[in-house]
């Protein structure tokens, strides 16, 4: 439900730098929630060639700025927010470190990982490193999309044409969205010649 309501709320902030298709209807089919929006045209950023992603990067970075510039008046907290605009954590470090705690949204992952061949060691080491760095994080509170790949951004002709699926939207340091892109960039072999770090 959060994702469909979030999409409707975010659509109110749509503008030239932040194309969010208006939600026309939402509902429930069985155990699945759905939202129907106006049709958006374009290709998922994930499927762009190196040439096209290079052309689209300026527009994508403008979109990141627009997301981070959304007015959060009347909202509170850090982390993933509910349709009433409230998020559960008192600080951005608290919200980041909560990734190590299981929630109803993603249950059972710790036990599953502990039983796997990989174990929890790497995750615990990463969380410890994050906890050590957390005191140095800036006290920023902006809108974050939280999942700008996974075909959630459409583009055409070098311009972002739609930003979809706000189910992971959260409040915190807007550089999180840039860090997300930088982290996942090497997973797309067609983009290896595009240096996002200097974009």
Is residue 180 within 8 Å of residue 70, measured between CB atoms? no
**Cα separation of 137 and 78, whole Å?**
13
47 is catalytic: no
Token representation of residue 87: 């998020």
* Phi, psi dihedrals of residue 171, rounded to the nearest 5°: -105, 135
Strand order in the sheet with 153-156: 43-44, 153-156, 159-163
Paired sense of beta strands 153-156 and 43-44, if any:
antiparallel
Q: Which of 52, 84, 94, 147 is catalytic?
A: 147
Residues 6+ apart with CB under 8 A from 121: none
Kindly tell me the sign of the dihedral angle through the C-alpha atoms of 169, 174, 176, 179. Answer: positive
Catalytic (active-site) positions: 147
């Amino acid at each position: 439900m959060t994702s469909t309501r979030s999409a409707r709320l975010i659509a109110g902030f749509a503008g030239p730098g932040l194309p969010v298709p208006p939600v026309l209807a939402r509902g429930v089919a069985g155990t699945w929630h759905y939202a129907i929006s106006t049709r958006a045209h374009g290709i998922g950023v994930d499927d762009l060639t190196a040439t096209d992603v290079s052309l689209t990067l300026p527009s994508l970075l403008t979109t990141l700025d627009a997301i981070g510039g959304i007015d959060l008046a009347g909202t509170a907290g850090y982390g993933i927010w509910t349709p009433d605009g409230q998020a559960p954590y008192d600080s951005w470090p608290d919200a980041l470190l909560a990734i190590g705690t299981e929630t109803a949204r993603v249950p059972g992952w710790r036990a599953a990982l502990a039983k796997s061949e990989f174990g929890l060691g790497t995750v615990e080491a990463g969380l410890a490193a994050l906890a050590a760095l957390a005191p140095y994080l800036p006290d920023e509170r902006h809108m974050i999309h939280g999942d700008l790949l996974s075909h959630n951004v459409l583009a055409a002709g070098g311009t972002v044409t739609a930003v979809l699926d706000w189910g992971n939207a959260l409040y915190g340091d807007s550089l999180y969205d840039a860090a997300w892109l930088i982290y996942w960039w090497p997973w797309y072999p067609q983009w290896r010649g595009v240096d996002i770090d200097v974009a």
